[in-house]
C-alpha cells in the first residue's frame, strides 16, 4: 500500500518537474526567437537606411540621370523613376526607388518658404504656373486661409526678384504689404483636389530660376504645377527596402526637394537697399 502511494507521489513529482521544464524551455525558445527577430529586424532596418544614405550621397547624379534618361549612376532609369541596388553587407542588398515628381506639394510652415524650380523652361515668358493652397477644413478655419507672398527669382549673370501678394480680403480686410499683384490671374475654375484657394502666376522672365512662396497668418499646404506643360522635377520620393536571411523585411521612406532650400531671409536680402545686420 505504501509502495503504491510512493509511486503515485513520484509520478506526480515527475509530471510537475516535466511541466516546469517544458514551460522554461518554451519561454527560452520564445525569448530566443524574439531576440533573433529583433536582431534581424535591426539588420534589415539598418540596411534599408544604408540604402537611403547611399542614394542621397549621389542624388545629384541620379537626378541628372532621371532628367536625361541615362544610367550613369549605376541605377536603372525608367521615366521619372530610378531603381538602385545597394549592397549594404555581404548578405543584404537594399532595393531603393527614387521617383521624381514634377508637381510641388508640401506644407509650408509660418516663417518658412516653399521653393519651386523653374530652370530649363522652354519659352518661359509665355508660361503660367497654377498655385493651390489652403487644403481641407483645418487650413480654412481660425480666420480663414493664409495669404501668400509669391516671389519669382530670375537672372543669369545678375539676379533679380519680383514679388506678388495674394491677399484674402474677405477675412483679413486690413492686410497689406505694399506689393502689387501684377502677373497674377484668377484660375478659370475652383480646385477639385481638396484645396480652396487658387491663382495663376505668369513666368515673366526669360531666365527664370525659382518661385518662392511664403505664407502669412497661418501655415498652409501648397501645390504648384505648370499650366499646359510640365515643370522640372520638384521633389524626389526615396523608398528603400531590405530583407535579412531570416526573411525579415523593413522599409524606409524619405522625401527630398530638387533644389537646396534657401532660408526665408534670402528674400529680404534681395530687396534690401543696404547691409542686413544681425
All three cell numbers of 248:
525579415
Average pLDDT, the chain: 79
Q: How far apart are the first and last CA of the chain?
A: 100
Q: Residue with C-alpha cell 501678394?
A: 165
Retrieve residue 129's grid coordinates: 504656373
Please say whether the dihedral angle defined by the alpha carbons of residues 265, 217, 130 and 259, taken in this order, is positive or negative: positive
Q: Looking at residue 126, what DSSP letter applies?
A: G
212-231 pLDDT per residue, tens: 898 888 899 999 999 888 88
Q: pLDDT-based confidence at 263, cuts 50/70/90?
A: low
Q: Are strands 93-101 and 184-186 parallel, antiparallel or unpaired?
A: unpaired
Distance from C-alpha of 244 to C-alpha of 248, rounded to nearest angstrom: 5
Q: What is the pLDDT of residue 43?
A: 84
What is the set of domains in the chain, with CATH numbers?
103-232 (2.60.290)
Least confident of 101-115, 223-237, 254-268: 254-268
**pLDDT higher than 50, residue 276:** no
Phi-psi region at 178: left, alpha or beta (left = phi > 0; alpha = psi -120 to 50) = left
What is the share, in percent, of the chain residues with pLDDT greater than 70? 79
Could you give the angle at which helices 2-57 and 59-68 cross, rounded to 10 degrees? Answer: 70
CA distance 64 to 71: 9
Continuous segment of H or E residues that includes residue 148: strand 147-155
How far is Cα 234 from Cα 200, in angstroms, rounded to an integer? 18
Whether the predicted model's global pTM rises above the 0.75 cut? no
9-25 pLDDT, tens digit each: 777 777 777 777 777 77
87/95 Cα distance (integer angstroms): 9
In 102-145, which ranges are E strands? 104-108, 114-117, 128-135
Amino acid at each position: 500500500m505504501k509502495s503504491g502511494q510512493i509511486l503515485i507521489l513520484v509520478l506526480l513529482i515527475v509530471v510537475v518537474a516535466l511541466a516546469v521544464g517544458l514551460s522554461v524551455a518554451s519561454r527560452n525558445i520564445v525569448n530566443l526567437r524574439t531576440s533573433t527577430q529583433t536582431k534581424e529586424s535591426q539588420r534589415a532596418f539598418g540596411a534599408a537606411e544604408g540604402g537611403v544614405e547611399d542614394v542621397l550621397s549621389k542624388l545629384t547624379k541620379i537626378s541628372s540621370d532621371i532628367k536625361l534618361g541615362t544610367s550613369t549612376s549605376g541605377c536603372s532609369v525608367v521615366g521619372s523613376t530610378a531603381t538602385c541596388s545597394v549592397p549594404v553587407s555581404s548578405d543584404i542588398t537594399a532595393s531603393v526607388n527614387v521617383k521624381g515628381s514634377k508637381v510641388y506639394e508640401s506644407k509650408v510652415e509660418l516663417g518658412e518658404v516653399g521653393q519651386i524650380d523653374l530652370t530649363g523652361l522652354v519659352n518661359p515668358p509665355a508660361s503660367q504656373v497654377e498655385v493651390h493652397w489652403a487644403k481641407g477644413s483645418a487650413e480654412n478655419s481660425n480666420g480663414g486661409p493664409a495669404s501668400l507672398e509669391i516671389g519669382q527669382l530670375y537672372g543669369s549673370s545678375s539676379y533679380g526678384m519680383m514679388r506678388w501678394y495674394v491677399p484674402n480680403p474677405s477675412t483679413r480686410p486690413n492686410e497689406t504689404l505694399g506689393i502689387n499683384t501684377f502677373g497674377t490671374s484668377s484660375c478659370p475654375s475652383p480646385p477639385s483636389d481638396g484645396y480652396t484657394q487658387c491663382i495663376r502666376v505668369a513666368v515673366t522672365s526669360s531666365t527664370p530660376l525659382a518661385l518662392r512662396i511664403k505664407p502669412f497668418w497661418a501655415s498652409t499646404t501648397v501645390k504648384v504645377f505648370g499650366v499646359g506643360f510640365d515643370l522640372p522635377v520638384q521633389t524626389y520620393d526615396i523608398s528603400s527596402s531590405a530583407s535579412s536571411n531570416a526573411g525579415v523585411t523593413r522599409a524606409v521612406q524619405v522625401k527630398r526637394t530638387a533644389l537646396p532650400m534657401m532660408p526665408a531671409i534670402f528674400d529680404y536680402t534681395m530687396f534690401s537697399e543696404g547691409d542686413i545686420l544681425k
